[in-house]
C-alpha cells in the first residue's frame, strides 16, 4: 500500500493525502480525518526510503564506533546505549553504528555526513582539542558531545558530569579524615574526564597544602587487571598511600584484590573511593567492604543525549549550550580515618 494507491482510493491527490498525514494546515479537517482513518485502516506507512530521498531526513542518529583488534568497546558504552534506547524507542528513532578504524574515524564521519545517513550524531569519550568535535562542527550536522573537550576555539553542545567537582569532594573528605598521602588510579589521561578528575583531586589536596606525589597517580585503561597492578605498585612503595581514589568500579575490583593479596584491609589500612557509573551487574554496596563512590548514572546520560539530539533534529534546540550534571558522593564502609 503506497501513497498513490491510498490517494486513488480516497479520490484525492497524493499532495493532499501527504499533507493531511503530515499535519499541514492547508487541508480541511474533515478531509484530514478521512485520510488518517483510511491510512490507519489500510495499514499505510510511508516508505522511509522514499521519504528519505525526498526530504533528506532519516529518522536515525549515528555513532561512529571505533573498532579494531586492539580496541575494546567499553562496557560503559552498553549502559549508555540502554539509556539512549530508552528514549529513542518511544520516538521511533533508530541508532546507526558505523564501525570505523579507531585511527581513522574522520573518513567515516565524512561519509555518514556526505551520504546523509543520519540526522545527527553524538560523540563520546572526547579528548582535549578533539578532532572529531571540530570536524563534526564544520560538517554542520547536529551533534551532542557526551563529556567535554577542551581548548577548542568554538563552543559546542555537550552533556557532561562534574568530574572535577566529584573527585574534589572525594579527596576533600579523605583529607578531612586525616589522610595525607592520597593516590589516584585514573582512566586514560588522554581523555578529558580523567584530566578533570585529576584536577579535582589536586585542587582538594592543594587546599590543605598537600600534593599528589610523583608516582601517586596512574592513568590506565580501566580494567580489573590494571586496577590490581596499579594498586599493588602503589601499596608496595615506601610512601604508600593511605587512601586511593579510583576512576572506575571495575578497577576498584582489582584494587580490592591487591589489598587482600598484600594482607592489608579496607578501610583499616587503606580507604577507597571509586567512581560508579551505575552498572546493574556490579554494585558498590556489594563489595565485601561496601565501597564509597562518586555516583552518576551513565544510563541517564544516554537518555538525555538522545532527547537533546531529537530536539536538535527538529529544531527545538539550538546553539552551543553545555550542561554539567552534579555527581553524588555516597559514603559506605570503605573509608575511615587515616591509620596510625
Residue 19 binds to DNA (criterion: CB under 7 A): yes
Residue 228 binds to its own copies (criterion: CB under 8 A): yes
Q: At closest approach, how far in Å is the CB of 107 from DNA?
A: 19
Interface segment toward DNA; rule CB under 7 A; list 28-36, 95-103, 106-114, 234-242: 28-36
Do residues 294 and 327 touch, judged by C-beta distance below 8 A?
A: yes
List the single partner that 208 binds among DNA, its own copies, none, CB under 5 to 8 Å by kind.
none
Phi, psi for residue 244 in degrees, rounded to 5 = -125, 135
Residue 331 binds to its own copies (criterion: CB under 8 A): no
Closer residue to its own copies, CB minimum distance, 65 or 311 = 65
Place of cell 493531511: 20
Closer residue to DNA, CB minimum distance, 44 or 287 = 44
Q: Within 10 A of 299 (CB to CB), how many other CB atoms are there?
A: 22
Q: What is the dihedral of CA 265, 250, 170, 206, to 10 degrees?
A: 90
Closest among 199, 188, 186 to 248, alpha carbons compared: 186
Residue 49 binds to its own copies (criterion: CB under 8 A): yes
Interface segment toward DNA; rule CB under 7 A; list 39-47, 60-68, 89-97, 269-277: 39-47
User: How many residues touch DNA (CB under 7 A)?
Assistant: 27
Do residues 201 and 184 touch, judged by C-beta distance below 8 A?
A: yes
Residue 84 binds to its own copies (criterion: CB under 8 A): yes
Selected from 12, 84, 112, 185, the binder of DNA by CB under 7 A is 12
Residue 107 binds to its own copies (criterion: CB under 8 A): no
List the single partner that 257 binds among its own copies, DNA, none, CB under 5 to 8 Å by kind.
its own copies
DSSP 3-state helix, strand, coil percentages of the chain (rounded to 5)? 40, 20, 40
Axis-axis angle for helices 163-176, 192-206 (nearest 10): 30
Residue 95 binds to its own copies (criterion: CB under 8 A): yes
Selected from 25, 115, 315, 316, the binder of its own copies by CB under 8 A is 115
Q: Which positions from 159 through 218 interact with its own copies, judged by CB under 8 A? A: none
Query: Rounded CA gap, 230 and 237, in Å?
Result: 11
| Residue-wise burial string across 40-51, b where 16 or more C-beta atoms lie within 10 A, e elsewhere | eeeebeeeeeeb
Residue 243 binds to its own copies (criterion: CB under 8 A): no
| Residue-wise burial string across 116-144, b where 16 or more C-beta atoms lie within 10 A, e elsewhere | ebbbbbbbbbbbeebebbebbbeeebbbb
User: How many residues touch its own copies (CB under 8 A)?
Assistant: 62
Element (H, E) at 95: strand 94-101
Query: Rounded CA gap, 166 and 99, in Å?
Result: 33
CA atoms 322, 323, 329, 330: torsion sign: negative
Interface segment toward its own copies; rule CB under 8 A; list 76-84, 129-137, 230-238, 313-321: 76-84
Q: At closest approach, how far in Å is the CB of 51 from DNA?
A: 4
Selected from 250, 305, 310, 313, the binder of its own copies by CB under 8 A is 250
Contact positions toward DNA, by CB under 7 A? 2-4, 11-16, 18-19, 21-22, 26-29, 31, 44, 46-47, 49-51, 53-55
Residues lying near its own copies in the complex (CB under 8 A)? 45, 47-50, 52-53, 56, 58, 60, 65, 67-69, 71-75, 77-79, 81-82, 84-86, 88-89, 93-101, 111, 114-117, 222-225, 228, 250, 253-254, 257, 260-261, 279-283, 286-288
Amino acid at each position: 500500500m503506497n501513497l498513490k494507491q491510498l490517494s486513488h482510493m480516497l479520490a484525492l491527490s497524493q499532495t493532499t493525502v501527504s499533507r493531511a498525514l503530515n499535519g499541514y494546515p492547508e487541508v480541511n479537517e474533515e478531509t484530514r480525518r478521512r485520510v488518517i482513518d483510511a491510512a490507519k485502516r489500510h495499514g499505510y506507512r510511508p516508505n522511509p526510503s522514499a521519504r528519505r530521498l525526498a526530504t533528506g531526513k532519516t529518522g536515525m542518529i549515528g555513532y561512529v564506533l571505533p573498532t579494531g583488534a586492539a580496541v575494546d568497546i567499553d562496557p560503559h558504552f552498553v549502559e549508555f546505549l540502554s539509556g539512549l534506547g530508552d528514549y529513542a524507542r518511544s520516538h521511533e528513532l533508530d541508532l546507526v553504528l558505523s564501525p570505523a578504524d579507531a585511527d581513522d574515524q574522520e573518513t567515516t564521519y565524512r561519509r555518514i555526513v556526505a551520504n546523509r545517513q543520519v540526522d545527527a550524531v553524538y560523540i563520546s569519550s572526547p579528548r582535549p582539542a578533539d578532532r572529531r568535535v571540530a570536524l563534526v562542527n564544520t560538517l554542520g550536522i547536529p551533534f551532542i558531545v557526551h563529556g567535554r573537550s577542551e581548548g577548542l576555539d568554538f563552543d559546542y553542545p555537550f552533556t557532561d558530569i562534574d568530574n572535577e567537582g566529584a573527585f574534589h569532594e572525594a579527596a576533600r573528605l579523605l583529607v578531612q579524615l586525616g589522610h595525607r598521602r592520597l593516590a589516584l588510579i585514573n582512566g586514560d589521561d588522554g581523555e578529558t574526564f580523567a584530566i578533570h578528575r585529576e584536577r579535582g583531586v589536586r585542587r582538594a589536596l592543594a587546599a590543605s597544602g598537600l600534593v599528589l606525589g610523583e608516582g601517586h597517580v596512574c592513568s590506565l585503561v580501566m580494567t580489573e587487571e590494571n586496577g590490581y597492578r596499579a594498586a599493588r605498585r602503589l601499596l608496595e612503595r615506601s610512601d604508600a598511600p593511605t587512601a586511593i581514589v579510583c576512576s572506575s568500579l571495575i578497577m576498584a575490583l582489582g584494587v580490592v584484590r591487591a589489598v587482600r593479596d598484600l594482607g592489608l584491609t579496607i578501610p583499616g589500612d587503606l580507604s577507597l573511593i571509586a567512581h560508579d557509573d551505575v552498572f546493574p551487574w556490579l554494585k558498590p554496596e556489594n563489595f565485601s567492604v561496601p565501597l564509597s563512590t562518586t555516583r552518576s548514572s551513565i544510563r541517564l546520560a544516554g537518555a538525555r543525549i538522545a532527547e537533546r539530539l531529537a530536539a536538535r533534529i527538529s529544531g527545538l534546540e539550538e546553539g552551543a549550550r553545555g550542561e554539567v550534571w552534579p555527581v553524588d558522593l555516597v559514603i559506605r564502609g570503605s573509608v575511615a580515618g587515616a591509620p596510625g
